[in-house]
Structure 1
Amino acid sequence: MSNYRIGLIGLGGMAHSHIRWIAEEGRYEVVAVSDVNEGALAEKGDELRIAPDRRYADFKQLIGDPDIDAVVSVTPNNVHAAIIRACLEAGKPFLAEKPFTRVFAEAAPLLALYEARPVRGMIGFSYRYTPAFRYARELVRAGKLGAVRSFSIQYLQGWGSALNDTPYLWRFNKDITGTGTLGDLGSHMIDLARFLFGEFKELSAQMRTLIPERRDPATGRMVPIEVDDFVSFQGVMSGDEAGVFQSSRNAVGSGNQHEVTIYGDAGTLHASTLDPERVVWTREEAPGRLARAVVEVPAYCKATQYGDFLSLLDGDAPDGLPGFMDGYRNQEVLDAVIRASGERRTVELQARPERARE
């Protein structure tokens, strides 16, 4: 089996996790890095023992390097589209962080390019690899909950709360991120719903900026905040499952609380990142008597993001791998949430023909 030479773009905080995940698989080697920060480039280059001529300030040079087999992109949102475009143009396989693009207007041209010249691509919806969510998907697909009537998904964090006096940083800059909580956490909620139930048919939404200004640590001045701190929406999925979604980075006491509760005719299932190896399953134990059980996730439901990326590079996309079209369709739903909130109306999403698996 082949080993793969990886070019890593973006050396900020999340890069540390990706470097660890890459190393754990045993069939990757990071041979090139790129970042606009010269200090980070030098520090991480030394740490990874990257040759000086493989430390690129310009990501396009890294993508064009013929000795790199695949690209991993871990950057802020404002360069997602340009990096994916460069990978498509170079025919270079890639794993790119979510959201797919900063705004939907950047996504449409990428779809046209991809359809003209497909490239093996994966989008970093890492919570598809939470064992509890994968087991929930298996139970839903096997009909163990009966007909699913409704569900709720939430993703709550507390780091942005007023209690923490969180300063202004790039995640609050609309020019960089496009949206706030919606693109950061809401994109994961949308992906989990699609992973479990298929496509969205329609939705209505509200987006709120809870803290209108934050202090810039560089200048000491208060900066107006133009992105959302809170988002909620209601959606109807392709099988008529009704869903309620809530996300905030201002939820005091929530660390990384991403969870789903699924209500079916034969029972209720709860899965959460707070207990990723188990699900809570409520079902009929005997006629008229319900039982609530905490169930361990079976081994066959466990997989890793970089294990699936290996399979993709080997030429086989496993079921459930978040590919290029998952990123694009996620961006369509993000755009629908923005329009539904801004126009105070229900937005319908157009059904699209299925493509061959990426």
Structure 2
Amino acid sequence: MNKFRIGLIGLGGMAQEHIRWMNEENMYQFVAVSDVNGEAVARVGDQLGIEDSKRYADFHHLIEDPDVDAVISITPNNVHADIISACLQAGKPFLAEKPFTRVFEEAVPLLEQYERQPVPAMIGFTYRYTPAFRYARELVRTGKLGTIRHFSIQYLQGFGVPSEQVPYMWRYNKAITGTGTLGDLGSHMIDMARFLFGEFEEITAQLHTIIPERRDPVTGAMAQIEVDDFASFQARMTGDIMGVFQTSRNAFGSGNQHEVSIYGDFGTAHASTLDPDRLIWIREEEPGQLSRTTMEVPEHCKVKQYADFAAVLRGAPADGVPGFMDGYRNQEVLDAVIRASEARAAVELPN
């Protein structure tokens, strides 16, 4: 079987994870790389055996390269929209990192462009591929939990706690990132809610900056933080399912703790990245007798993101693939969270 020829844009730390994931599938061949950092281009180009003529400083040249079948974009938020737009213009399939764009205003013209000329696409909501979350979705969709009444989702990291003395970086620069933990971690929570339950209808929210300044490693001075590092919001979803969300980079002791609790009439399910191959299921097996069982996730729920991306490229996307519209809807909800926080009022989402 011929492998898909990949052009990789953005060669920072996360690029190595994507390279590893693609290599595990044995369906991809790297043929071009691009980054504004020349040292990174040289280093990763050597690592992947990319010829010199396919090492680009300008991502437009990579996207236009006829030897590139599909583009993988692993970049900071401020270039997401430009890269997606260039892929749409060139008719080039792509996988782009989340959040979809830096701000919602950048997403609107992309939707117009996509409606004129759609291309196969995936947005990097990787937690759809956590087996426990996929099993939770199966329990919801098959009615094993009964009618879903409410849920909670949290995504906690200890990345930014004061004792870590994390310096000022692009993730704290509003001009580059748009939002802080909301767009970085909160976008995953929003996607998980949509993946499990459907669309958002109404939101109330509060955004906060716990650590107001951090030391700039370039100047040595303290830099003001203009983006959130804590976000909480409540939502009413399709079918009057109520949800509570929180995310923080200042949760001491949390490494990468993304989890969901789902409450239905017949049972409760808990799933977490801390135990990705198991799910806790609470249900009534006998009248008045509750059973709390840690379930092993079945093999059919262990799907890999890049196996699904290959199916997208073949023109046969699987159910639940996070596509272009999932990215757009996600950005729409992020914008509603911001507006709800600023207005201190409920914000309704478009139907």
**TM-score, reference length from structure 1:** 0.97
Q: Could you tell me which residue of structure 2 aligns to residue 253 of structure 1?
A: 253
Structure 2 unpaired stretches of 5+:
none
- After TM superposition, where is structure 1 displaced by more than 2 Å over at least 4 residues in a row? none
Pairwise CA distance, 1:302? 1.3
Q: Which secondary structure state, in structure 1, belongs to the residue aligned with residue 112 of structure 2?
A: helix
Partner of 1:272: 272
- CA-CA distance at 1:19 after TM superposition: 0.4
Aligned residue type for 2:292:
R
Deviations 1:82-140 (A, max 9, x none): 00000000000000000000000000000000001101010000000000000000000
**In the aligned structure 2, how far is the partner of 1:324 from the partner of 1:30?**
23
Q: How does 1:125-136 map to 2 (within 5 A)?
A: 125-136=125-136
Instruction: In structure 1, give the amino acid aligned to 2:61.
Output: Q
2: CA distance, partners of 1:138 / 1:153: 17
Partner of 2:210 in structure 1? Answer: 210
User: What amino acid does structure 1 have at the position aligned with 2:272?
Assistant: S
Partner in structure 1 of residue 161 of structure 2 = 161
Supply the AA of the counterpart residue of 1:137. R
Show the counterpart of 2:293: 293
Q: In 2, Cα distance between the equivalents of 1:28 and 1:166? A: 36
**1:239 deviation in Å?**
1.6
- The TM-score, its normalising length taken from structure 2, stands at 0.99
Q: Could you tell me which amino acid in structure 2 is paired with residue 264 of structure 1?
A: G
Q: For the residues of structure 2 that align with 1:27 and 1:287, how far apart are their CA atoms?
A: 51
In the other structure, the counterpart of 2:11 is: 11
- 1:236-255 CA-to-partner distances (Å, cap 9, x unmatched) read 11121100000000100000
Q: Which amino acid aligns with 1:30?
A: F
- Aligned AA (1:22): M
Deviations 1:171-230 (A, max 9, x none): 100000000000000000000000000100001000000111000112110000000010
Aligned to 2:284: 284
1:192 has 2:196 as partner:
no
Equivalent residue, structure 2, for 1:221: 221
Which residue of 2 is the match for residue 356 of structure 1? none
Aligned residues: 351
Which segments of 5 or more consecutive residues in structure 1 lack a partner in the other structure? 352-358
Distance 1:296 1:239 in 2: 29
Name the residue aligned to 1:173: 173
Q: Distance in 1 between matches of 2:118 and 2:140?
A: 31
Cα distance between partner residues in 2 of 1:139 and 1:322: 20
Residue type of the alignment partner of 1:190: I
The 8 Å contact of residues 137 and 195 in structure 1, kept in 2 or not, is answered as yes
Question: Is 1:58 matched with 2:58?
Answer: yes
Alignment-derived partner of residue 339 in structure 1: 339
1:61 CA displacement: 0.2
Does structure 2 conserve the Cα–Cα contact (< 8 Å) formed by 1:104 and 1:335?
A: yes
Aligned-partner SS, 1:82? helix
The answer (yes or no) to whether the contact 1:163–1:252 under 8 Å persists in 2 is no
Partner of 1:310: 310
Q: Which amino acid aligns with 2:192?
A: L
Shift, 1:285, TM fit: 1.9
- The percentage of aligned residue pairs carrying the same residue is 70
Query: Which string of whole-angstrom CA distances, capped at 9 and with x for unpartnered residues, describes residues 309-328 of structure 1?
Result: 00000111100000000000
Give 1:2 deviation, angstroms: 3.5
